[in-house]
Structure 1
């Protein structure tokens, strides 16, 4: 059992080093809808990879990266809010992806539940390299661009005065989110990945008084959620990926209740 679970658990630990800092910016900038849009749109990328009979990881990565570029451009030129754009694209891509997959599945047997909800047991040792490399790339990019992204998040006007290009900072966040979602889909699934990006950093807010501390605590909470979710799934014989999200939600709820009573006292 340990040999079966360990690669999936370790891949989740690797992902935590990407989702922790990236998720903090997503929470600060209220970009959870953007994460949902990319994760839902990944199903359309999956459908394209099935039709083209190519490796799904690379097609999904290229597809949602191009989508991130388009969203950054649309946010800049369209008069309507980004939230409206995200909602339209998210539901349209998800629907089109499911329609295409259902049409293709008439001629061949396709199980896309793994991409919707994740499949921890499908993670192999060979997958760990891609997940580790992708997580390291995201972490390095965020560390290098940390000051500019943080300034844009806190005060966009001041960042612009300092000569920081707001468009490229937003694009950096969008592309790193696209990469993280691409490497995480096999682990937690398209419908659950945004939870892993949002819930641990949101929980970390209750225990931190600086951005850097929030990122570190967010990574630790993410690792704790993954470990607790894996153990719970083994003990109660329930799906692993939803168990991870529920465990993370339980940590958030406990932290929120604790914070509420501490403020009352």
Structure 2
């Protein structure tokens, strides 16, 4: 019989995996992996502000990540720097500012490692509820925006011509990323959030023939990685967050094995 804390960890991890699956597919299709890292790094600044002003941690992280998204959009339109350069600046700047703020707050004692690498075994029933409710909201919005997001990924100009408002869909998608990062921070940590977005989706790409199937498979693979990683962590006494990522990596390696007639899903190639 599993302990309550382990059951909660599995439920929270599976709920997160079901949410990150569809998001991760768009991250891969839109080549936004570096953007995911930037959002994740900005979470530490959100943590620092939360501690300094005694704010709700999840709300603070979401607000900071959302602001970083908006700043990126504005700078992309007004500055001559490439997206990669802007992401690099924002990513390392927010991470550095967060670390400096934490260093100055000598009156606050907290576990920085838990924020960086997560502590899924410490989730509470409230955390589990937040993960599932937030996940349902995120997946529901993704389903609502699926067509304009997909069309904007393939060809922005064509999507605009058809009145799908791809820029609005892109903005909402970035805000959803901020929300998921705020939810996921406690589970896999700031440094490993992006891996849960990218690796399952990358593994699913080898088995899917349609975008919709890839999104479903990414969620399934992510959930499998959570279960395998947590049981591996329990068996070998390894950190839970990194164990989940290692399990996802192993599943990705399995997906690379040669398969007769295998096809990959790259919707950009259809443009």
Q: What is the TM-score of this pair, normalised by structure 2? A: 0.93
Partner secondary structure for residue 258 of structure 2? helix
CA–CA distance in structure 2, aligned partners of residues 257 and 123 of structure 1: 35
Which one has a larger percent helix, Structure 1 or Structure 2? Answer: 1
CA deviation digits over 1:54-97, x for unaligned, max 9? 22111111111122122222223322211110111101111110
CA–CA distance in structure 2, aligned partners of residues 31 and 127 of structure 1: 27
Partner secondary structure for residue 71 of structure 1? helix
- The answer (yes or no) to whether the contact 2:207–2:262 under 8 Å persists in 1 is no
1:53 corresponding residue in structure 2: 54
Q: In the alignment, is residue 248 of structure 1 matched against residue 248 of structure 2?
A: yes
- What is the root-mean-square deviation in Å for CA atoms of aligned residues? 1.6
CA–CA distance in structure 1, aligned partners of residues 26 and 101 of structure 2: 33
1:133 corresponding residue in structure 2: 133
Q: In the alignment, is residue 6 of structure 1 matched against residue 1 of structure 2?
A: no
**How far has the Cα of 1:26 moved from its partner?**
0.4
1:154 corresponding residue in structure 2: 154
- The answer (yes or no) to whether the contact 1:206–1:259 under 8 Å persists in 2 is no
Q: In the alignment, is residue 204 of structure 1 matched against residue 204 of structure 2?
A: yes
CA–CA distance in structure 1, aligned partners of residues 215 and 93 of structure 2: 33
2:213 corresponding residue in structure 1: 213
CA–CA distance in structure 1, aligned partners of residues 185 and 202 of structure 2: 21
CA–CA distance in structure 2, aligned partners of residues 109 and 172 of structure 1: 35
Partner secondary structure for residue 23 of structure 1? helix
2:266 corresponding residue in structure 1: none
1:25 corresponding residue in structure 2: 26
Partner secondary structure for residue 55 of structure 2? coil
Unaligned runs of 5+ in 1: none
- The answer (yes or no) to whether the contact 2:148–2:166 under 8 Å persists in 1 is no
Unaligned runs of 5+ in 2: 264-271
1:92 corresponding residue in structure 2: 93
Partner secondary structure for residue 207 of structure 1? coil
Q: What is the TM-score of this pair, normalised by structure 1? A: 0.95
**How far has the Cα of 1:259 moved from its partner?**
4.4
Partner secondary structure for residue 14 of structure 1? helix
Partner secondary structure for residue 256 of structure 2? helix
**How far has the Cα of 1:108 moved from its partner?**
3.1
How many residue pairs get aligned? The number is 262
2:267 corresponding residue in structure 1: none
2:38 corresponding residue in structure 1: 37
CA deviation digits over 1:199-224, x for unaligned, max 9? 00100010011000101111110000
